[in-house]
Amino acid sequence: MALDPETAVGAGLALIGAGLAIGIAGLGTGVAQAQIGAAAVGATAENPKMFGRGMILMVLPETIVILGFVVAFLLLGAT
Amino acid sequence: MLRPEEMTRAVIVGSARNLDATIECLYDLGVLHLIDFTEQDEEFMLGQPLAGASDASQKLLKLRAMIRTLNIDEHKPVGQIPVQELRDKLTQALATLDLNTSSKAEDRQRIQSLMRERESEIKSLEPFRQFGIPVEDFDGYDNVSSFVGICKTAPGPALSSRLSMMELFEEVRKPDVAVAVFVRNDDRSEVSRILAEHGFQEVKLPRLKGDPGEIIERLTKEIEKLNADLQRIETDLDAIRKKFADFIIASEEDLAIEVLKAETPLKIAASANSFVIDGWVPSSRLADIKTALGDLTDGHVFVDTVEAHKEEEPPVKLKNPGAVKPFEFLINLVSTPKYEEIDPTLILFITFPLFFGFMIGDLGFGLALAALGAFIRAKFRSSEDLSRLGTIILLGGIVAAIFGIFVFAEAFGIPFHPPEESPDEYTWQTVVDIPVHPMLDKMHDIQEMLAISLVAGWLHLSVGFIFGFVNNFHHNRKHSYGKVAWLVLLLGLFAQLMAIAGNSTATSAFINDTVLFWMPGSTIDVMGIGVLVPALAMILGAVTLLPFTEGALALTEVIGLFTNLVSYARLAALSVGKGAMALAFNSMLLPLVFDSGNILIAIGGALALIVSQLFFVFFLGALSSGIQAVRLNFVEFFLKFFEGGGTDFNPLKYERKHSVATK
């Protein structure tokens, strides 16, 4: 991570971008999982056999934050 | 492995007088999954329960009622009682027990309800005992209305300012105020309004006569007497419990088994003189049934195999070697595989510990987890699911410890040796010099770890597509070629990702040189990214094939496959995240322990370190690593081939825990 005065601002912006990428992606995942999780727990309470299916649905939105992580990582590489 | 136990459809036919012996024998063998008989006609009807079924059920009902009365449903008998002994004593014991417990139980109920009544009378009289008014004088007047109850705040001032004629009794108690107001009938509604403002709640007084204080005293004495009676009954019941609990529980088990067997004919076909039992038997055990039944009935019962219809799906009994078997627990969480499907337990056995171990990747935490797993396994031996979970954690922990030693060279988040980038870090070197240097450093080799994750993802997903190909090959050829298209698409994506990584990581360099060496390296430039021509050709080719094999909608899932592959980045992400968390706690708290020079601060720091490492790194880390390792299998891997929805193999059998069969 070069902090050369000439590119420092650009690097800083890229770092902020990396933070935003993972932070906002995380929020998105959270919003999605909150609703799916509540429904999945409800379904599992009624029929324990739903656990596996509930879990699969529950973790689907995690992909969003993983993509955020990858973007953040690529941005870190770019600085 | 990979395939469930092979099943054969067996039909057992015999004359009606051999039915008892046949059923007994089938339960003893425990290998026949019964198919319920439904198509009744004039010849064949549902069978009748065996002799003694109704007698046994009646006794069972009585015993269960007793178990409830004596409250011993949680009782665990020590040792097992021989069945013969149970049956010899049962009739006599039931008669004595029934007489004793049911009358005692009735008495107990009567006394308890009397006590409750007395207590509620005391509770309603208590607030008003200071007023000195006999209970019968609180109401029953022609021209005067009375309000007796509890207010939240004292209504006295409000009442006296509004009404000229009234008699008010007030007693301020701690949270509320006991009130008795006597007014003319004309003022009734006014008073009721004022009282409502003070949160008035009426108290219904019991229909008794005399001074409340004296009544309360009398009732209290009565309760004491009742309580003594209750204690006596409880002591008697306790004695019964001590003497008979083992017997009752064991008898209940024996009778339940009797009833289960006796009612089995209700599920099979029977004519006037014969019976037909239809079911699935593991092919390897078919000979056992034949010999056992043949010997028992001198060849009067025949076992024959029939060709199963296509639409009849055999039940599924997973077949895995001992070490792999615990992982069936994870499969069961999703669904039982279909009979025709590949059983993916073996892949879980391989990938779960590897993924889990890579994410934890720490000698200390790995050993701690292995110990935890071993503990769960030993402690919950009786629960199959929990002991399987224990084994899974144990294996995961061991692999994590191995990763911890040889790959990451750290224990409890503290490296064996200082990394080049930060030579001042606390390390184990000050305590003991472990001659292992890390192959990967969680804080500084993130790219390398990401590349490893992608390779793991590629391999895992490829196996998934190959399984999908095999699953579909026999009944949907087109679909199975679709899986090949996906496999090619995946390889194209992977090759492209590896080409982008190029020589920046040792892993991608290795893959490019060995696994993908045959691929021409020519690239074209698309928006600043060097696109590998063969990879592009594979992706485009596969995408063209997809609509013809999997349907046009499959095209929308092409991006999904990319996210599936990238999803394995969580392996690196969790490992790094956990490492960073452990490092953060260590670098904040270790200086307090070693450099503060103050013994109190050092002890406080050490405690904080233990708590934070235990909860945040160990428990949360193990939990999330476990969930993610399972998830990669359930979501990314299973969705490529797994349908599930098979019927569990559920043979006729029973288990005796508290009783022992006697010849």
pLDDT in tens, chain A (79 residues): 456 777 788 888 889 999 999 999 999 999 999 999 999 999 989 988 787 778 778 878 887 887 888 788 778 776 6
The answer to whether B412 and B362 have CB atoms below 8 angstroms apart is yes
Q: Is the minimum CB–CB distance between A74 and chain B shorter than 8 Å?
A: no
Residue B368 has pLDDT above 80, yes or no: yes
Query: A39 lies in a domain?
Result: yes
Percentage of chain B with pLDDT > 90? 23
Q: Is the minimum CB–CB distance between A62 and chain B shorter than 8 Å?
A: yes
The answer to whether B154 and B197 have CB atoms below 8 angstroms apart is no
**Interface touch A63/B563, C-beta < 8 Å:** yes
Question: What is the total count of domains within chain A?
Answer: 1
B649: tokens are 């193999």
B403 — pLDDT class (breaks 50, 70, 90): very high
Chain A contacts of B567, Cβ < 8 Å? Answer: 62-63, 66
| H or E, element range at B377 | helix B363-379
Query: A25 lies in a domain?
Result: no
* Contacts A–B by Cβ distance under 8 A: 43
**Closest alpha carbon within chain B to A48:** B333
Chain A contacts of B446, Cβ < 8 Å? Answer: 73
**Per-residue confidence (pLDDT) for residue B629, from 0 to 100:** 92
The 3-state secondary structure of B247-274 reads: HHHHHHHHHHHHHHHHCHHHHCEECCCE
**Per-residue confidence (pLDDT) for residue B451, from 0 to 100:** 92
Q: Give B334 to chain A, closest Cα distance, Å.
A: 4
Chain A contacts of B634, Cβ < 8 Å? Answer: 52, 55-56, 59
More confident residue, B362 or B596: B362
Q: Give B453 to chain A, closest Cα distance, Å.
A: 12
For the segment B557-564, the average pLDDT, to the nearest whole number, is 86
Q: Is the minimum CB–CB distance between A52 and chain B shorter than 8 Å?
A: yes
The answer to whether B338 and B646 have CB atoms below 8 angstroms apart is yes
Task: Determine the Cα–Cα distance for residues B623 and B389; give it in Å rounded to an integer.
Answer: 13
Out of B334, B567, B627, name the one closest to residue A52 (CB).
B334
**Per-residue confidence (pLDDT) for residue B426, from 0 to 100:** 79
- Distance of alpha carbon A73 from its chain centroid, rounded? 12
Q: Is the minimum CB–CB distance between A78 and chain B shorter than 8 Å?
A: no
Task: Determine the Cα–Cα distance for residues B655 and B260; give it in Å rounded to an integer.
Answer: 12
Cβ density class B291-317: b for 16+ within 10 Å, e for less: ebbeebbeeebebeeeeeeeeebbbbb
| Type of residue at B355 | F
Identify which of B331, B339, B283 has the alpha carbon closest to the alpha carbon of residue B314: B339
B663 — pLDDT class (breaks 50, 70, 90): low
pLDDT tens digits along B315-331: 999 999 988 999 999 88
Tell me the CA distances in angstroms from B328 to B97, B223, B357, B638, one per residue in order. 45, 58, 19, 14
**Interface touch A73/B634, C-beta < 8 Å:** no
B110 — pLDDT class (breaks 50, 70, 90): very high
The answer to whether B115 and B227 have CB atoms below 8 angstroms apart is yes
Out of B446, B450, B634, name the one closest to residue A55 (CB).
B634
Task: Identify which of B83-92, B189-198, B219-228, B544-553 has the greatest average pLDDT.
Answer: B219-228
Query: A44 lies in a domain?
Result: yes
Question: Distance between terminal CA atoms of chain A?
Answer: 6
**Interface touch A62/B446, C-beta < 8 Å:** no
For the segment B117-131, the average pLDDT, to the nearest whole number, is 88
Q: How many CA atoms lie within 13 A of B30 on its CB side?
A: 5
Q: Is the minimum CB–CB distance between A51 and chain B shorter than 8 Å?
A: yes
Helices (H) and strands (E) in chain A, counts: 3, 0
Stated pTM of the model = 0.77
Query: A67 lies in a domain?
Result: yes
Place of tokens 């002591």: B235
Task: Return the bridge partners of B45, or none.
Answer: B270
pLDDT tens digits along B465-493: 999 999 998 888 888 899 999 999 999 99
Q: Is the minimum CB–CB distance between A70 and chain B shorter than 8 Å?
A: yes
Chain B contacts of A68, Cβ < 8 Å? Answer: none
**Per-residue confidence (pLDDT) for residue B271, from 0 to 100:** 86
Q: Per this entry, what is the length of chain A?
A: 79
B588 — pLDDT class (breaks 50, 70, 90): confident
**Per-residue confidence (pLDDT) for residue B295, from 0 to 100:** 86
**Per-residue confidence (pLDDT) for residue B432, from 0 to 100:** 81
Query: A74 lies in a domain?
Result: yes
**Per-residue confidence (pLDDT) for residue B406, from 0 to 100:** 92
Percentage of chain B with pLDDT > 70? 100
Mutate to test the interface with A, among B330, B333, B557, B568 (most CBs of A within 10 A): B333
Task: Determine the Cα–Cα distance for residues B365 and B371; give it in Å rounded to an integer.
Answer: 10
In sequence order, the 6+-apart residues with CB closer than 8 A to the CB of B354 are B399, B456
**Per-residue confidence (pLDDT) for residue A78, from 0 to 100:** 66
Out of A51, A56, A77, name the one closest to residue B635 (CB).
A56
Query: A9 lies in a domain?
Result: no
More confident residue, B45 or B568: B568
**Interface touch B450/A73, C-beta < 8 Å:** yes
Specify the 3-state DSSP secondary structure of B558: helix
Query: A24 lies in a domain?
Result: no
* Structural domain harbouring A68: 32-79
**Closest alpha carbon within chain B to A56:** B635
**Per-residue confidence (pLDDT) for residue B437, from 0 to 100:** 83
Query: A56 lies in a domain?
Result: yes
Task: Determine the Cα–Cα distance for residues B381 and B483; give it in Å rounded to an integer.
Answer: 42
Identify which of B447, B443, B356 has the alpha carbon closest to the alpha carbon of residue B402: B356
pLDDT tens digits along B610-623: 888 888 888 888 88
Q: Is the minimum CB–CB distance between A10 and chain B shorter than 8 Å?
A: no
Q: Is the minimum CB–CB distance between A63 and chain B shorter than 8 Å?
A: yes
Q: Is the minimum CB–CB distance between A36 and chain B shorter than 8 Å?
A: no
pLDDT tens digits along B6-30: 899 999 998 888 888 888 888 988 8
Task: Determine the Cα–Cα distance for residues B365 and B615; give it in Å rounded to an integer.
Answer: 12
For the segment B50-73, the average pLDDT, to the nearest whole number, is 86
Please enumerate residues of B whose Cβ is less than 8 A from a Cβ of A. 333-335, 446-447, 450, 563, 566-567, 569-570, 573, 627, 630-631, 634-635, 638-639
**Interface touch A63/B567, C-beta < 8 Å:** yes
Identify which of B531, B554, B532 has the alpha carbon closest to the alpha carbon of residue B544: B554
**Interface touch B631/A59, C-beta < 8 Å:** yes
Identify which of B212, B122, B199 has the alpha carbon closest to the alpha carbon of residue B154: B199
The answer to whether A15 and A76 have CB atoms below 8 angstroms apart is yes
Q: Give B468 to chain A, closest Cα distance, Å.
A: 18
For the segment B635-648, the average pLDDT, to the nearest whole number, is 88
**Interface touch B634/A69, C-beta < 8 Å:** no
**Per-residue confidence (pLDDT) for residue B358, from 0 to 100:** 94
Task: Determine the Cα–Cα distance for residues B632 and B585; give it in Å rounded to an integer.
Answer: 29
**Interface touch A52/B335, C-beta < 8 Å:** yes
